[in-house]
Amino acid sequence: MAAVSNHIPPDLWEECPSCHQLLYSKQLADEQWVCPRCGHHLRLNVWQRLKITADVGSFEPWDDDLPLVDPLNFPDYPPKAERAREKTQMNEAILTGRATLNDISFGLGIMDLSFIGGSMGWVVGERVTRLMEQCADQRLPVVIFCASGGARMQESLISLMQMPKTSAAAGKLREAGVPYISVITHPTYGGVTASYTFLGDIIIAEPQAAVGFAGPRVVEVTGLEMRPHVQSAEFQYKHGMIDLLVNRQDIHRTLYRLLCWFKGTSPVNAANTANGRPALVGELDE
């Protein structure tokens, strides 16, 4: 008689970091990694985000061969980047390229916090800049999912220079009359917040996403006090910094409707009402 295996695959279950409910991984993926018990939006990697955003097989990467820049010969920086590559199966903290969403072409950028904290060095800034410039030339709307701890300290001033560079690229999109949609996900801080995140023509955020310039740990060092909810998507929405606060499960539908609106076409009903759930707040008017 064959022995019965007691082995349970380690990725079969996942614990919600908010309510600590043990969740079946497949069910969680079906729910787009939103906890069905408490509504917490779990952190996504770039491949999970791509899967729930773009049409299957439509993504075409751009500028994925840019080399790491290490102007200061910063200790342990190249090996750290190499370890991040192995861990994330990405070669930098952002993936950029062209994709389609319900057959509408657009430029897509997705940041991943697990690659050196989603920090912005030369490669990240250059990819964002090239994405925006190429989309301005090709008249493709741009969607960027932001998630970042801020500037990449290993690249010092080179990192900070990415802020005006990406801001200028966003300006080129605006001059060309090409729309740019920024989607804030948890957490988005520092130089990324202070440049292209808040330069979107339309700024969307996922619920409970932390967003701000100096994160809580930096504020703590200054000895100043800040109410924690100030750096929340809800607070920023209430005070006019964010246009739409949208549940993750409604972001695909919201982007589709926006892309149709920009294109001057009507959304197809089936896709428009894909899951039948209303957006949390700030639902677009028909």
Q: Give the residues lining the site for Zn ion (CB under 5 A).
A: 16, 18-19, 35, 37-38, 40
The whole-angstrom separation of Cα 153 and Cα 155 is 5
Cα within 13 Å of Cα(270), Cβ side:
1
- Closest distance between Zn ion and the C-beta of residue 40, in Å? 4
- Closest distance between Zn ion and the C-beta of residue 249, in Å? 15
The whole-angstrom separation of Cα 74 and Cα 198 is 30
| Angle at CA of residue 277, ends 35 and 50, nearest 5° | 60
Closest to Zn ion by CB, 152 or 186 = 186
Closest to Zn ion by CB, 37 or 263 = 37
DSSP state of 217: H
45 closest CA partner among 110, 102, 91, 100: 110
Closest to Zn ion by CB, 36 or 282 = 36
- Closest distance between Zn ion and the C-beta of residue 53, in Å? 23
Closest to Zn ion by CB, 42 or 246 = 42
- Closest distance between Zn ion and the C-beta of residue 43, in Å? 13
Closest to Zn ion by CB, 19 or 281 = 19
The whole-angstrom separation of Cα 211 and Cα 188 is 5
- Closest distance between Zn ion and the C-beta of residue 66, in Å? 38
The whole-angstrom separation of Cα 35 and Cα 120 is 29
**Crossing angle for the helix pair 251-263 and 46-53, nearest 10 degrees?**
60
